[in-house]
Amino acid sequence: MSDEARLPRLGPSEAPEEVRPTFDAFIAERGKVPNLFRVAAHAPLIAARLAALNKVVMGPGEVPVILKELLSTRVSHINLCDY
């Protein structure tokens, strides 16, 4: 098994035009585009729907946003995600 990604992570300058608003929103909110969305940018429709789902799941609700972020970070760490 190779450590090399099958799909490269697209940067803002490489992303298709349809994905640029999503990238711009992440950059404005977080200062960067999460890797998941950089890979999903290869399929703009999927990237847009994934961003909409992420906004609902990770946004305000019964579980505090900060706890959601901490859980996301912890799970990424446990799974040895490359960040």
On whether residue 24 sits in a domain, the answer given is yes
On whether residue 71 sits in a domain, the answer given is yes
On whether residue 70 sits in a domain, the answer given is yes
On whether residue 6 sits in a domain, the answer given is no
Q: How many structural domains are present in the chain?
A: 1
On whether residue 11 sits in a domain, the answer given is no
Give the per-residue SS3 of the chain: CCCCCCCCCCCCCCCCHHHHHHHHHHHHHHCCCCHHHHHHCCCHHHHHHHHHHHHHHHCCCCCCHHHHHHHHHHHHHHCCCCC
Q: Is the pLDDT of residue 69 over 80?
A: yes
The predicted pLDDT at position 1 comes to 57
Whole-angstrom CA distances from 60 to 25, 45, 57 are 17, 24, 8
On whether residue 25 sits in a domain, the answer given is yes
Q: What's the pTM? A: 0.78
Q: What is the pLDDT of residues 15-35, one digit of tens each?
A: 999 999 999 999 999 899 999
Which domain does 56 fall in, by range? 17-78
On whether residue 9 sits in a domain, the answer given is no
On whether residue 68 sits in a domain, the answer given is yes
For residues 65 and 29, the answer to whether their CB atoms sit within 8 Å is no
